[in-house]
A and B are shown apart, each in its own frame.
Chain A
Amino acid sequence: GIQVEQSPPDLILQEGANSTLRCNFSDSVNNLQWFHQNPWGQLINLFYIPSGTKQNGRLSATTVATERYSLLYISSSQTTDSGVYFCAVVLKADSWGKLQFGAGTQVVVTP
């Protein structure tokens, strides 16, 4: 089956630092989403980005579908950015569109 690999698995940042999270996927996809799971377990939608580049405040994302990877950029990190970041994809071969998740990147932002 498809593999969704996220790196790094863990990231410790000082407040104000920038970082890049990576998501590699092994098959062609129709849909790619980035989520932030906060300490209470809520999955918060960050980006719906099957291709191209999007920005939302201090966060931006780029997906290069032909090369099967996506990047999430966090700039000027804040303590509220702490949590787990998930990448999830929908395979082109999947008629019904279920999301397949990576294992996540655990981010800790220290004051």
Chain B
Amino acid sequence: EAGVAQSPRYKIIEKRQSVAFWCNPISGHATLYWYQQILGQGPKLLIQFQNNGVVDDSQLPKDRFSAERLKGVDSTLKIQPAKLEDSAVYLCASSPKRGLYNEQFFGPGTRLTVL
């Protein structure tokens, strides 16, 4: 069974530019998560989708970050405009249903550097 796929693996941009990340969850997984991991810290949730609906985006900086999961399968996370403090690894995860009693599986991440 294929794991969670993410692209690109690395991205370097100038501040104020825009960037987009893509995630394809494990086949059949209804719940998709985007986490941000700043160097030296544990990952923190940005947004959670249940099928194609947002169920938690309380930690998403909505003035610059947006995300969508239009057909309930793959998802895109966008940053516009980027700031220096957005330099981090962006991790996508999925679980079969809500994560209450379900194991979450992570993709390889996208390492973003904002110069």
Question: Chain A residues in contact with chain B, CB under 8 A?
Answer: 4, 30-31, 33, 35, 40-43, 45, 48, 50, 86, 88, 90, 94-104
CB closest residue in chain B, given A49: B103
Give the residue of A30, A40, A102 whose beta carbon is less than 8 angstroms from that of B42.
Answer: A102
| Chain A nearest CB, measured from B50 CB (Å) | 7
Give the residue of B44, B99, B105, B111 whose beta carbon is less than 8 angstroms from that of A97.
Answer: B99
| Chain A nearest CB, measured from B34 CB (Å) | 11
Question: Chain B residues in contact with chain A, CB under 8 A?
Answer: 31, 33, 35, 40-45, 48, 50, 55-56, 89, 91, 93, 95, 98-106, 108-109, 111
Pair B98/A97 contact, Cβ less than 8 Å: yes
Pair B42/A48 contact, Cβ less than 8 Å: no
Given A42-B106, A86-B42: A98 and B99 interface contact (C-beta under 8 Å)? yes
Within the assembled complex, what's the spacing in Å between the Cα atoms of A88 and B44? 10
Give the residue of B41, B45, B108 whose beta carbon is less than 8 angstroms from that of A103.
Answer: B41
Within the assembled complex, what's the spacing in Å between the Cα atoms of A31 and B99? 8
Pair A96/B55 contact, Cβ less than 8 Å: yes
Given A40-B108, A42-B108: A98 and B89 interface contact (C-beta under 8 Å)? no
Within the assembled complex, what's the spacing in Å between the Cα atoms of A23 and B104? 18
Pair A41/B102 contact, Cβ less than 8 Å: no
Between A and B, 14 residue pairs with Cβ closer than 8 Å are A33-B103, A40-B108, A41-B111, A42-B109, A94-B100, A95-B100, A96-B50, A96-B56, A97-B95, A99-B43, A100-B45, A101-B43, A102-B42, A104-B42
What 7 pairs between A and B have smallest CB-CB spacing?
A97-B99, A101-B42, A43-B106, A48-B103, A97-B100, A98-B45, A97-B98
B40 contact set on A, CB distance < 8 A = 103
Pair A96/B109 contact, Cβ less than 8 Å: no
